[in-house]
A and B are shown apart, each in its own frame.
Chain A
Amino acid sequence: MKMLKKTEPVPNDPAALPLPKAFSWLVRLRPTFEKRGIQFDQLRLILATKSLLASRESSGLGSMFNNNKRGKRSRLRITFLWNTVFGAVLGLLLLIPASIVTTFTMFMTVQLLTSFLAILTSYSSLILDPRDRTVFAARGVNDRTLSFARLLNICFYLGMTLLAMGGPGIVISSFHYGPIVAIGGFIALLFSGILSLMLALFVYLLILRFFDGERLRNMLNLVQILLMIGIYAGGQLPNLLPQSMSIFGASISDQFSWLFIPAFPAWFAGLPMLFAGQVTALSLLLAGLSVVIPVAMTLIFFHFSGVFEVYLEKLNQGNARPRKLGWWFRGISALMTRPGEERTYFTLGWRVLGSERDYKLRVYPQLAYGLILPLIFIGNELREMSFKSASHFIAYAGIGIIVALAPALVNLRFSSQPQAMAIFQYVPFKTHGLLLRGVVKAMFARLFLLPLVLMTAITTAIGGLDALVAGIAVIILTYGITLIMGWPLVGSQFPFASVYSANANFRGGSIGVISIILGMIAAVIIIFVGGFLGGWIFPLVLTLLGLTFGLLLGHFYRTNLRYELRINTEPE
C-alpha cells in the first residue's frame, strides 16, 4: 500500500532533529496525517524537541530517548522496576479463586485508578502547558498538530506506565487463564488507558470552557478528585448485585445487569471473558462498551482538539484576587505554631500551597486516593450498612492519610517560582529548621487536618465517645508521622526552591509505591494495635506515639537543620 511505504524517519536536513525512535512509525502514516490537517514536519519537530527536553532531565522516562549517560539509565531502570514490582503485586489479584469477571474487574479498577492518578498527577503538566502555545502556536503550528503532538507524547508515557503496572498482571493471567485470555486482558488494558486519558481530557476541556482565572484552577483540582472517587465507586457497583459477595470473597455475579453499564472498570473484564469463550450477553455488552466508548471519545476529542488549544490560553491569563486567610487559618496557626519566625514560615507555606497549581495537581488526587482507602478496607461494612466500629473507620482513614503523605511532603521541595525563595539568601535567616517545621505544619494543617477533623465529627456522631477518642488519637499520630517523614523527604532540600519537573512522571509512580508501602506498614501497625489491644489502649498508644514523635522531632528540627540555600531552576 502506498500509505505504508517506508520512508526515512530522519529528514533530509542533516542538522534537523530526527524523530525519536519510539515515534519513527509515524513516518509511514505521514500522508494520512497531512490529509487530516496535521503538519507533519511541525509534528516531528515538536516530538523531537519534547524528547530532547525530557532527555535533559535527570529523572523521567524521557531519558530513554537519549541513553548515553549510564546514571540516567540506571535511575530509569530502578523506577521502572519499582513500578513493575508494584504491578506484579497487583497482578496477584488475578490469582484469586473467582470468576474472570471478578478478578479482571478488581484488576482493572486498580489499573484505571493508577493510570488516572498518573495522568492527573504527572502528565497534567504536559497536557496543560500553555507555554507550548507561545512557542509553537505563535510560530504557525496549527492547533490540531499541537494537540496531536501533545497527545502522542502523553500516550508514550502512559503506555510505559501501563506496561509496568499492568504487564506483570497480564503475564500472570496467561499462566492462570491461558495466553488467549491474557491477549484479551492486554487489549482491555490498552483501552482502559485510552479511557483514562480521554476522561481526563474531556474534564479539562469542559472546565477550560466554562471557567476562568482562579476558579478555573480550583475547579480543575476539585473535579480531578471527584473523578478519582468516581472510578473507585464505579468499580464497586457490580458488588451491589444481590448475588455478589465481598470483594475478597467469592464472585461478582456474571449474570447480566444494568448496573454493569455505569460500572466502567467492569467493562474491561468483557474482552478477557470473550477470549475465554464465555460468549454471553454480559461479556458482549462489557467488551462492546470497553471498545466503543474509548474509541468514540477519542474521535470526539479529535473533533474538539483545536478548541482545547484555544482554551488553554486561559491558563496564561492573570489570576483573580487571592483569598483572605480565614478563621480556620488563624485558629490553626495559633494552635500549631509559636508566634515569631515559625508562624511566619507557617503562613508562607500556607499561602504558597494555596497558590501552587502543580502542587495541587500532583498531591490532591493522591489525597483523594488515600481517603478512598478506608472505604476499601471496610467495604463490606459500608455495603451492609452495619457500621460496627466507627473508631476502626477513623483508624483506617489515618492509614489513607499516611499513604498520601509521601507525595505531599516530597512536592514541598518544588515551586513554579523557585527564584522567589532566593529572598532567604539575603535576609538574616538563621534557624533553618523552623522553616521546615513551619512549612510541614502548614502542609499538614492545610491538607490533612480538615478531612481528619470532619471524619472524626462524622464517626463521632455514629460511634460516640470511642470514635471521638480514636479520631483525636489518629490526628496526633498522623501529625507525628508527618514530622518523621518530613525530615528525610524535605530536610535535605530547601523547600519551594526547585522548579517542577514536567516529566517527573515515573518518579510520581515510585513515590506512589513508596507511600503505599509506608501506608501498608502503618496499616499493619494500626490494625495490630487496634485489633488486639482494643478499647482505650488503642487510642492511648496512638496518642503517646504521636506526642513522642511530635515533641522529639519538633525540637530536633529546630537545632539540627542547615539548608544549602540553593535555587534549582532546572528540573531535578
Chain B
Amino acid sequence: MTDSIVTLSHIQKSFGSKKVLKDLNFTIAPGNIVGYIGPNGAGKSTTVKMMLGLLEPDDGTLELFGQPISPKDPSYKRRIGYVPESADVFDALTAREYLSLIGQLYGLSAADAEQKALALAELVNLRDAFDRRISSYSKGMRQLILIIASLLHNPDILFWDQPLNGLDANTVLVIEEVLQDLRDQGKTIFYSSHILDVVQKLSDRIIVLNAGTVVADGPFKAIAKEADTNLQQLFNDLTGFAEHGQKAQSFVDIVTEGESHEDA
C-alpha cells in the first residue's frame, strides 16, 4: 500500500531534439492542493498529459493510484477530472450537449449528467447560456464549461492546467473556495497557473518547474528563502529572471520613441 496517489520517477520526455522533461521526480499524497508552476515551455502541460496517458514518457515510470498507467486499461481516468490548457471543446455543441457527452464518457447517464451540469452551471451564472452553442461563449464561460466538465463524475483527483484563464475576479474566488472544500473532502488537486498570488494562497505544496526539472518543492513557507518574500519574487529567483525592471524600461522607451500619431 502506497501513501501517494501519483508517483513520477525519473521521467524524461523529448520532442525531436528538444528535451522537455529531464529526470522529473515527485509524488503526490491524497488530500492536497499542489500548485505546479513554471515559465512557459517548462514542461507543465507535458507532465499533465503524461499523467493522463495522452503522452508516453521516453524514460521513467509513472504510477497513478498505486498502479503504473497502461494504455490498454484507461479505466483509471474515471477517477480523474481534467481541465486542458487550451479550450479544446466542440464549439458547435451547446453546453448541455457537451457536458452531457463528457458525463456519459465518464459513465454517468445522460439524464444525470445534464441534471448535474445544469445545477453547477446555475451556480456560476451559466444557466441562460446553457442551451447556446459554445462558439458564442466568452473565454471565461468556456473555461467554466471545462471546469464543470472535470467535476461531473466526482473524481478523486483533479488535473487542472491553467484553470483560472479568463475567469473574472468573483469567479476566481468561487473556484478557490471550491478547491479548498474539495480538498477538505479528501480530493487531490494538482493544478498549474500563472496567477501566483492565488497559487501562494491556495496551495498546500508548490512544485516549481524550470527547463524540465524541479527547482523547488514544498509548502510555500518551506521553499521561501526569506520571510518577507512572495511567490512572485521567489519564482523570479528560481527561474533566473531578475531583469524585469530593465526590460520594462526598454519596452517603454521603444514604444514612446519617434512621433506620436495622435493627429494622423
Contact = CB atoms under 8 A, between A and B. Distances in A.
Given A53-B92, A53-B93, A317 B110 contact: no
A466 interface: no
Interface of B: 15-16, 41, 49, 52-56, 71-72, 74-75, 77-78, 82, 84, 86, 88-93, 97, 100-102, 104-106, 109-111, 114, 133, 135
Of B56, B90, B114, most buried by chain A (CB within 10 Å of CB) is B90
A52 B93 contact: yes
Contacts of B88: 131, 134-135
- With most chain B CB atoms within 10 A of its CB, the pick from A37, A53, A215 is A53
Given A13-B109, A15-B114, A131-B88, A139 B56 contact: no
Given A15-B100, A15-B109, A16-B110, A212 B15 contact: yes
Contact of B106 (A135, A139, A143, A213): A139
Given A16-B109, A17-B110, 14 more contacts: A13-B109, A13-B110, A14-B111, A15-B110, A37-B72, A49-B90, A53-B93, A56-B133, A57-B92, A136-B105, A138-B54, A141-B74, A570-B133, A570-B135
A184 B72 CA distance: 40
Counting contact residues on chain A (CB < 8 A from B), the size range is 35 or more
Contacts of A52: 92-93, 97
Contacts of A571: 92
A481 B56 CA distance: 50
B71 A306 contact: yes
B112 to A, nearest CB: 9
Contacts, number: 97
Contact of A138 (B72, B75, B82): B82
A137 B52 CA distance: 8
Contact of B105 (A14, A45, A131, A134): A45
A140 B107 CA distance: 10
A53 B90 contact: yes
Contacts of B54: 133-134, 137-138, 313
Interface of A: 13-17, 37, 41-42, 45, 49, 52-53, 56-57, 131, 133-143, 212-213, 215, 306, 310, 313-314, 317-318, 320, 569-571
A142 B72 contact: yes
A49 B94 CA distance: 12
A148 B38 CA distance: 38
Contact of A15 (B75, B84, B111): B111
Given A13-B110, A14-B111, A139 B135 contact: no
B233 to A, nearest CB: 29
Contacts of B82: 138-139
B53 A137 contact: yes
Given A16-B104, A138-B52, A140-B77, A56 B92 contact: yes
B16 to A, nearest CB: 4
Contact of A140 (B55, B101, B105, B109): B105
Closest 9 CB pairs of A and B: A15-B110, A140-B77, A212-B16, A16-B110, A134-B88, A56-B92, A139-B105, A15-B111, A13-B109
A113 to B, nearest CB: 32
Contacts of A313: 49, 54-55
A314 B106 CA distance: 25
B19 to A, nearest CB: 13
Contacts of A45: 101, 104-105
Contacts of B86: 134
30 contacts: A13-B109, A13-B111, A14-B110, A15-B110, A15-B111, A16-B104, A16-B110, A42-B105, A45-B101, A49-B90, A49-B93, A52-B97, A53-B93, A57-B92, A134-B54, A134-B86, A134-B88, A135-B90, A137-B52, A137-B54, A139-B102, A140-B77, A141-B105, A213-B15, A213-B16, A306-B71, A310-B55, A313-B55, A318-B15, A320-B16
A572 to B, nearest CB: 12
A213 B17 CA distance: 10
Contacts of A569: 91, 135
